[in-house]
Structure 1
Amino acid sequence: MPDRLAPRRAVAPEPGAGQQTAFGRPESVPGSFSDDRPRMPARPVPPPPPEALIRAFGPGTTGGRGLQEPPSGRPGRRRTAAGPWWKSDARSDPWRDPYAPAGLGAPAVYPDEAAEQAGPIVVDPKGRRKVRLADVSVRLSALILLAVLLVGAVGGGVGWFLTRATPESPLLSPDTTLTQVDPGITREPGSVSAIAAEVMPAVVSIEVRVGQGGATGSGVVIDGDEGYIVTNNHVVSGADDVEGAEIRAVFSDGSGSEARIVGRDPASDLAVIKVEKPGLVTAALGTSESVVVGDPVVAIGSPLGLAGTVTSGIVSALERPVRLGGEGSDTNAVISAVQTDAPINPGNSGGALVDTTGALVGINTAIASLGGNGTTGGSIGLGFAIPIDTVRDIAEQLISTGSAVHSSLGVNARSVTDGTRDGALVLNVEPGSAGAEAGLREQDVIIAVDGDPVGSSEELVVAVDRHDPGEEITVEVVRGGSSQELRATLDAA
């Protein structure tokens, strides 16, 4: 039986007729390739070296290997053992004969010079000094240990003696007097401290109690002889015509007095109360025309019930339309406010905003907050005050008649924009109102009043309220893609 695992010669199968036709050699071609194929040029044969080079560098005998003998035919007589040339082993030196066999020798061995040195201090091959503890004598080791212990004992004894010998100072020292220095501080006129000292007596805290609830605010004395105090409507509106409600004014000296409501104006968020306490300090009233953006101002009031709080800042903007709506109040006002960055918080309402002369330029009324709630939010540097000219006009009307009169166009509107122009879209027109008589219609967009641009419903209210009842104004509207002007005589509201 033949061995199945023995190597066998592979025998290629005979090609078929189709393979022979496709891959076979044509009958007209005698060899593997055609005779007319391109051929590589033959390598040139270098010429033989000159005879002088053969005699100088060639081997001594035909077929010989290695180096030739010196020119004299034998080694020189004065060759020494250290001579570099023609030693007895020159023919087998691999650095002389490239055909000599190569071999590895034993690894290099370096003597431990430090081990041969005597004593505890030795020098290593790199020149560094080292201490061999094995060579340190027992006597020397004991001497070093005793020296360390002696130094520690002496240091500890000295420290203990010093702590026992130095007496402790007493905790109490009777009749001690601290050094007092008088720096001689000079406060210039117009400083915040000087303004606060002048205006503080004219600013009061207002406490309102209704049943079990209550609220606090601020107010400013505008007539000390008669006891009139101006404040915000939303501060005292909850106590008007409510049985058992109480309003109390607390002054800077800590005294207090019961107050009564003289009049309220929800359309401007102003109110006047009266106390029966003669000889009050009256605030000096300024003018709105004297206020410009960037003027320093000081706010004084009772934020969060903290009476007599003073903050300072500047006038950030003027004639800022701000809509007011006090929570739990009938206030529904739009004011042309003085904007300030003086910190104002809940409780500052009704307080004073004064300039560097101490003149009242506004009544602090509202703040803007990130949460959108000016009642519970804190100051973020956006406070609003009613301008003093508006305060004076409304306060005089409230003291005279108990109510205030405003101009009215008789339309309800909301703010709109088309991307290029802003305006106030008329939603409805009251029948028989000034707007109806002027020909205003729903879907009209009011863009100007007496030539002053109107960009929102708040600006429309401010522009109308700037005029007196019975005054005729020009209203520019956009209707059907084109603008036109209408004349309207304002009503009293």
Structure 2
Amino acid sequence: MNVAPDADSPDADSPDTGDAQYARPAEPPESQQLTPSRPRHAPVSPSTAQVFGRPSGVRGSFATSTDNRSPEPQVAAPDPVLAEAFGRPAGSAETLQRDPLATYGQTEQPRTPDDPWRDPESPARLDAPALATASVETPTEAGPKLGVRDILLGKRLSWVALATLTVIALLIGLVGGLMGRYTAEVAAPLTSDTVELSTEDTGGDAGPRSSVAEVARAVEKSVVAIDVRAAGAYATGSGFVIDKAGYILTNNHVISMAANDKSAKLEVVFFDRQRVPARIVGRDPKTDLAVLKVDNVENPTVSVLGSSGDLQIGEEVVAFGSPLGLNRTVTSGIVSATDRAVALTPDAESDTDAVIDAIQTDAAINPGNSGGPLVNAEAQVVGINTAGRLGAGGGNIGLGFAIPIDEAKPIAEALIRDGRVNHPQIGVNASSVRNERVLGAQVRNVVAGSPAERAGVRENDVITSFNNRPIESADELNVAIRTANIGESVPFQYWRAGRTFSGTITPASD
């Protein structure tokens, strides 16, 4: 089918002039056009036709143009700064990566070997050998030594040198002689056979030279050492004679082993080393006191008992005993405090369960001093050495405690008389309490029908005073109760629910 060109097309009737812009094919008349009709394209600009159009004279898709065409777009040269920063260095190989060890801008020079002998490219030449051989010189032998004859007769030395040596030798001898003479006159000999040591005659048996020596002489013969020996066990302590019949006062914890083991051997050693067997008269674990008796001892020295109620803080005292088995030991100190409540608890060697109203002293009291007398400056017994606080290494630290003799006397008399002791009690168990509201002994339970129940004491009451003695702990309450008399009413105070109440209570026998 022939199609006529479009009358509106500018190149419809004109032949191909070689322009890059090609004319559209002629469209058929509207009566011959197919529906829908194609949209018309916008005219192509000359610059676009120049870049993307066919070359002049080429009508196919892959035809090769032989005509000269206008210059194609060219890539401009790179900026010098960018070329220096990102381009390859001058003379570098055509590689994609630069040598990381190479120095930019410098040419690496090959290293020249220091030793030409090791350089395979070095030229041949005459030079020193590769290994130089050191020449060894022949050692020179020492010549003969000069003797006296050579020096004096051989003319090997000049007369000037010989005279100089003679003068030097004379000077050395002169100086040595003078020094020997000087030291012989100044330094005395270390030993002598004429020395005799002199002593001062004191005129025989002199009297005591101190107050402690005087007390020791007056008391030492009444003090005894106590030995307890059982199978595989041994205990030692002290005591003192309180009656010519052979009664001896000591601590209960000293003889607890003998009391609980009938096979144990109990002996008393006197000042003159006389060793005699002893028997237990009675003992009281609640006060840590015991009385022994020895027989067939003629005229024993009896201790003089004083009064512990008259003691003053700072008063001098002397402690006697056998610390660590060292009998006839004396230590001295002062009274540090009185009315010090000290608890003694049972252990594997003793059944003592007591709270003592102790005398505190700095006189050394060590294990073995227990049961010995604490004596004042008048040689009167004012206490029984009972306990001591030891340091970390086991030594005495100046904290010793003794039972006051005023409390020990009635206990000893009761033991000698009855063999046992009755103690006052009020029927309560208490524990120490210390807080911002109250200070004292808090009642944990009250025995039914006891003196405390009759006096109106209830659980959780805090007793702050008993028998006119301030109470700050449960131990102080125990001491205050024990020092009261059975059947005799005493005043006391207690704290309850923020209020303090007063009352009286009558201790009963235990």
Question: TM over 0.5, yes or no?
Answer: yes
Query: Is contact 1:190-1:357 (8 Å) kept?
Result: no
Displacement, 1:152? 2.2
> What is the aligned counterpart of 2:277 among 258, 263, 269?
258
1:284 aligned partner, one-letter code: V
Q: Which residue of 2 aligns with 1:274?
A: 293
Query: Is contact 1:346-1:378 (8 Å) kept?
Result: no
Query: Is contact 1:447-1:455 (8 Å) kept?
Result: yes
Query: Is contact 1:226-1:278 (8 Å) kept?
Result: no
Q: Which residue of 2 aligns with 1:33?
A: none
Q: Which residue of 2 aligns with 1:363?
A: 384
Give the secondary structure class of the aligned counterpart of 1:240.
helix
Query: Is contact 2:438-2:495 (8 Å) kept?
Result: no
Map 1:273-292; keep pairs closer than 5 Å.
273-276=292-295, 277-292=297-312
Given the alignment of the two structures, is residue 153 of structure 1 paired with residue 173 of structure 2, yes or no? yes
Displacement, 1:178? 3.6
Displacement, 1:187? 4.8
2:199 aligned partner, one-letter code: Q
Query: Is contact 1:227-1:278 (8 Å) kept?
Result: no
Q: Which residue of 2 aligns with 1:46?
A: none
> What is the aligned counterpart of 2:255 among 217, 223, 236?
236
Q: Give the direction of change, closer, same or farther, for the CA distance of 1:320–1:144 in structure 2 (3 Å limit).
A: farther
Query: How much identity, in percent, do the aligned residues show?
Result: 45
Q: Distance in 2 between matches of 1:142 and 1:292?
A: 95
Q: Which residue of 2 aligns with 1:392?
A: 409
1:360 aligned partner, one-letter code: V
Q: Which residue of 2 aligns with 1:478?
A: 495
Q: Give the direction of change, closer, same or farther, for the CA distance of 1:448–1:150 in structure 2 (3 Å limit).
A: same
Q: Deviations over 1:418-476 (max 9, x none)?
A: 23641001111122221122222211111111332211111111111121111112221
Q: TM-score, normalised by structure 1?
A: 0.65
Q: Distance in 2 between matches of 1:485 and 1:163?
A: 93
Q: Deviations over 1:203-231 (max 9, x none)?
A: 011001121211100001101x2100000
Q: Distance in 2 between matches of 1:487 and 1:418?
A: 26
5+ residue gaps, structure 2: 1-79, 82-157
> What is the aligned counterpart of 1:337 among 358, 383, 389?
358
Query: Is contact 2:442-2:461 (8 Å) kept?
Result: yes
Q: Deviations over 1:17-41 (max 9, x none)?
A: xxxxxxxxxxxxxxxxxxxxxxxxx
Q: TM-score, normalised by structure 2?
A: 0.63
Q: Distance in 2 between matches of 1:215 and 1:471?
A: 40
Map 1:311-460; keep pairs closer than 5 Å.
311-327=331-347, 328-371=349-392, 377-419=394-436, 421-460=438-477
5+ residue gaps, structure 1: 6-137
Map 1:79-118; keep pairs closer than 5 Å.
none
1:301 aligned partner, one-letter code: G
Query: Is contact 1:294-1:316 (8 Å) kept?
Result: yes
Q: Distance in 1 between matches of 2:455 and 2:209?
A: 54
Q: Distance in 2 between matches of 1:182 and 1:492?
A: 63
Higher Rg of the two aligned structures:
2
Q: Distance in 1 between matches of 2:267 and 2:485?
A: 34
Q: Distance in 2 between matches of 1:442 and 1:144?
A: 115
Q: Distance in 2 between matches of 1:288 and 1:160?
A: 75
How many matched pairs? 350
